[in-house]
Amino acid sequence: MLEQLKDEFVKHVRGLQDEITAKMHEIDAKLELQEDLWEREDYESNPGGGGITRAFTGDIFENAGVNTSVVHGAISPEFAKKIGSSDARMWASGISLIIHPKNPKVPTCHANFRMIQAGDKFWFGGGADLTPFYPIEEDFEYFHGVWKEACDPYGIYQEFKDKCDDYFVNKHRNNEMRGVGGIFFDHYNTGDTEADFKMVKDLSNQFIRSYFPIVEKRLNEKFDSEDEDFQLHRRGRYVEFNLLHDRGTMFGLQSNGRTDSILISLPARVKYSYRYAPKKGSAHEKMMEYYFPKAWV
């Protein structure tokens, strides 16, 4: 039964990868796609699965990655211990995507849905979160609204929303979030695997509807150099989060993952300035207030 669900999960994430790819091409006529099929060796140098990495650069989507993978095999004893597993074998599959639009009025978005088996443990994880650079509140309400609607049948919106607010936080930057949140869950296992599987499938199927309408609504909005400057500095905070705090990045790099596929998450252009702060009274200063937990719906 579990084996059948695993197969189905892989099929599901690959289908979703294709749908998202198609949607992106539809929106961005100049979008270029570099696809890499990669294979992996496990800790004992046996075949250990692989993945399909899709790297995009375009006019509207400055850079993006929409990746799927299925990895399995032996893990190092240290790593097994770290994840609390009784044996050193694992299986994991998922879709992971991150989209960095060029226009600062269009938010960056990340989503990830995964199924993991480690030794005798088994769980689902995932979520979707929005990183805007301009205070267009209705977009944040829309994004959270879609996820609330998707989560409501399972009664888990508030829980998953709170987890997201807790997770995507730069502790070293006064607990600023990297964006305005969304939903996040990990080690999800109610005991009813089929029901859990169905939930994750339902949620992941909402990604397209949660994000791309915002892109389509904002992609022609005008922006100036100050908008871009704020965006590039906030992208800097995005890099800080991913490299200092993100468990997915750590897991990937420490489990002998493919570095280029993992760090595809980093934005194409970034700025850092000592004690960066937006102009007093600007929309960007307003935006800073939103990088803290807030009820959006």
Active site residues: 110
Judged by beta carbon, residue 121 or residue 271, the one nearer a second copy is 271
Residue 268 lies near a second copy (rule: CB under 8 A): yes
Q: Which span sits near a second copy by CB under 8 A: 125-133, 142-150, 237-245, 281-289?
A: 237-245
**Under a CB-based contact definition with an 8 Å cutoff, are residues 111 and 64 in contact?**
no
198 CB neighbour count, 10 Å cutoff: 12
> Per the structure block, which two tokens stand in for 225?
């150099």
Residue 269 lies near a second copy (rule: CB under 8 A): yes
d(CA 212, CA 223): 19
Using CB under 8 A, which of 34, 158, 189, 220 touches a second copy?
Answer: 34
Using CB under 8 A, which of 65, 104, 107, 127 touches a second copy?
Answer: 65
**Under a CB-based contact definition with an 8 Å cutoff, are residues 102 and 150 in contact?**
no
CB of 242 to a second copy, least distance (A): 9
Contacts of a second copy in 75-114 (CB under 8 A): none
Residue 264 lies near a second copy (rule: CB under 8 A): yes
> Per the structure block, which two tokens stand in for 15?
């289908």
Q: Which span sits near a second copy by CB under 8 A: 178-186, 188-196, 197-205, 256-264?
A: 256-264
CB of 176 to a second copy, least distance (A): 11
Contacts of a second copy in 275-294 (CB under 8 A): 275
Residue 158 lies near a second copy (rule: CB under 8 A): no
d(CA 290, CA 85): 38
CB of 153 to a second copy, least distance (A): 37
Residue 172 lies near a second copy (rule: CB under 8 A): yes
CB of 22 to a second copy, least distance (A): 20
Judged by beta carbon, residue 115 or residue 264, the one nearer a second copy is 264
Residue 240 lies near a second copy (rule: CB under 8 A): yes
Residue 247 lies near a second copy (rule: CB under 8 A): no
For the stretch 22-29, contacts whose Cβ atoms lie closer than 8 Å and that sit 24 or more positions apart, written own/partner, are: 23/208, 23/212, 24/56, 24/58, 24/61, 24/64, 24/66, 24/99, 27/60, 27/61, 27/212, 27/215, 27/216, 27/219, 28/58, 28/59, 28/60, 28/61, 29/59
CB of 63 to a second copy, least distance (A): 7
Judged by beta carbon, residue 25 or residue 173, the one nearer a second copy is 173
DSSP three-state, residue 132 = coil
d(CA 205, CA 147): 11
Residue in the block written with tokens 């989560």: 151
Element housing 220 (H / E): none
d(CA 115, CA 187): 9
DSSP three-state, residue 272 = coil
CB of 41 to a second copy, least distance (A): 15
245 CB neighbour count, 10 Å cutoff: 16
Q: Which span sits near a second copy by CB under 8 A: 119-127, 189-197, 235-243, 279-287?
A: 235-243
DSSP annotation of 179 reads S
Q: What residues make contact with a second copy under the rule CB under 8 A?
A: 34, 36, 55, 57, 63, 65, 172-173, 236, 239-240, 243-244, 253, 259-260, 263-264, 266-275
